[in-house]
Structure 1
């Protein structure tokens, strides 16, 4: 293997071949002769000293080196496409806000927060990605995201240079469809003993607090479902499969969108919402606007 810098044109041809699965289809996509693509792919393999593909019948299959190279090429060229989009918008007066949304964050909360950005005097284009907490933090550290919205702070001692900014916190409520709400409202919270519940999985920051609250009141719920994704939990709740916890700040939205009514308030259990950024001080104007609006009480009930 030589120490020559990577030829990114050759790497781009490799990326397209890997995505298309054959040199013929890649050449059609690139508008080049098959021989041109084949030659430049061979030059890339020669420069790195490793085979990137192996032939299996009529189809090319990535080698171990090829899979590793593809993982880096994905990052390089997907970021390149994002850069072109961002530069195209730079002269339009529109601000781009790329947001990572933790899959454990209630979607209504994410909407209420991002709605603030859409109401700014200057137009904002939202690009939203959903994923796991650690995955989103890694993307933030690599500057693929401007901010991450989540329900937990970044753990102390992390090697990533990212910083948590608390947006708000809200006491929780127990809610359910009218039939369930009517059956379990009287005598709350002792009435919840053996009640059907939909709960977040145990890797969710909120689950431990919920379990402690049940224990402190001597309540043993009938856990009929556990969900990592909050939106899926709410969908099952809307169908009446069980009671569920929700931020009190969203009580009106939950009733309006899910038809779920208040069973009882749980002030001892509070959910926290954070914006995580690469800077100790938020610099993106849209995120600054969200922070300012939240601190002025835009999220009712927080």
Structure 2
């Protein structure tokens, strides 16, 4: 088997970074056809198309994205050799690109990523946003995984894979002052102001169904789509929060907040959303495979 031609790889690396053959040719001081030839030879050697054309822009295929990651590792290794022999510090790191729903619990995100946090050989990039934008970035291979408490619909056009990585109970939680009256769970639901997730959430639909069964008209202090904001309002005593305990685990541990009770048959499910890929990120595989062995 013939060896990989690093001259081809260098041309590919520059085109991948610029997304344009003409600009790459100008920087290399060669003709555009010469660059195209080098890319074609590399694709033939690897047996995979590395680019697809969208208008005037070249976009990496999945194989192209993998090739780029390896090319950058190869060139970084060469630089590391120079740094090592020149007695200059350097390091190489694997990268995991994570998209996270902007309203998702920070405690949950940290818990999922904890096995990789602090590792010298790993860099974690986390980008928050709306689910639609995150899924577009996942499809474009700018993200390796999207963390969400909403499972996106799956069909032939959008074949998302939603890995269930946690299921948390939903509880009624508040300050000791608001929960010290000795009132029952149902009495607190009737008598105390409530901090609720917004109507778009799965938690809210379950809570509203319970209110309907019990003929309760809740006193709503606030409707919030951000778990971090719910946490702050609960700590400030604005009302009793309807929230998974993981969101306020530090406050529960310190006694700043108290858990009254779980809502019956109501949970929040957390997902790691991916796409089927021929070359999945090994760090992501490691995280998902280890979920079953971690405490909930």
TM-score normalised to the size of structure 2? 0.65
Task: Spell out, residue by residue over 1:120-166, the C-alpha distance to the aligned partner (whole angstroms, 9 max, x if none).
Answer: 6x632111111111111111111111100000212133732322111
Write the distance in 1 (CA, Å) between the matches of 2:72 and 2:175: 47
Q: State yes or no: 1:96 paired with 2:99.
A: no
C-alpha spacing 1:200/1:258, structure 2 compared with 1 (3 Å): farther
SS at structure 1 position matched to 2:147: strand
1:5-154 equivalences under 5 Å are 9=23, 87=72, 91=77, 92-118=91-117, 123-154=121-152
Q: How far off its partner does 1:272 sit?
A: 0.2
Indicate the residue corresponding to 1:211 in structure 2. Answer: 208
2:238, 2:98 → 1: CA distance?
32
1:291, 1:169 → 2: CA distance? 14
> CA, structure 1 residues 203+258, in 2 after alignment: closer, same or farther (shift >3 Å)?
farther
Question: CA–CA distance in 2 between the matches of 1:189 and 1:286?
Answer: 45
Report deviation, 1:216: 2.3
Q: 1:125 and 1:258, CA in 2 relative to 1: closer, same or farther beyond 3 A?
A: farther
Cα RMSD (Å) of the superposition?
3.3
- Unaligned ranges ≥5, structure 2: 1-18, 25-55, 78-90
2:170 to 166, 169, 172: 172
Secondary structure, in 3 states, of the residue corresponding to 2:276? coil
- Equivalence for 2:81: none
With over 3 angstroms needed to count, the CA separation of the structure-2 counterparts of 1:196 and 1:125, relative to structure 1, is: same
In structure 1, stretches of 5+ residues that fail to align are: 11-71
Distance verdict in 2 for CA 1:153–1:124, change over 3 Å: same
Instruction: Output the CA distance in 1 between the equivalents of 2:76 and 2:232.
Output: 39
For residues 226 and 176 of structure 1, the distance between their equivalents in structure 2, rounded to whole angstroms, comes to: 16
Q: Which moved more, 1:257-266 or 1:87-96?
A: 87-96
- The secondary structure found in structure 1 opposite 2:180 is helix
Distance 1:142 1:235 in 2: 35
3-state SS of 1:206 partner: helix
2:106/2:228 contact within 8 Å kept: yes
Q: Could you tell me which residue of structure 1 aligns to residue 28 of structure 2?
A: none
- 1:225 positional shift: 0.9
Alignment check: 8 A CA contact 1:140 1:277 kept: yes
User: In the TM superposition, what is the alpha-carbon distance from 1:273 to its structure 2 partner?
Assistant: 0.6
> How many equivalent residue pairs?
225
SS in structure 1 of the partner of residue 210 of structure 2: helix
1:29 maps to what in 2?
none
Report the Cα distance in structure 2 between the residues aligned to 1:139 and 1:90, rounded to whole angstroms.
26
Contact 1:97–1:127, Cα closer than 8 Å, also in 2: yes
Cα distance, 1:279 vs structure 2: 1.6
In structure 2, distance between residues paired with 1:118 and 1:133: 24
Tell me, what secondary structure is at the counterpart of 1:259? coil
Q: Distance in 2 between matches of 1:229 and 1:258?
A: 22
Counterpart among 219, 232, 236 of residue 233 in structure 2: 236
Q: Does 1:287 align with 2:287?
A: no
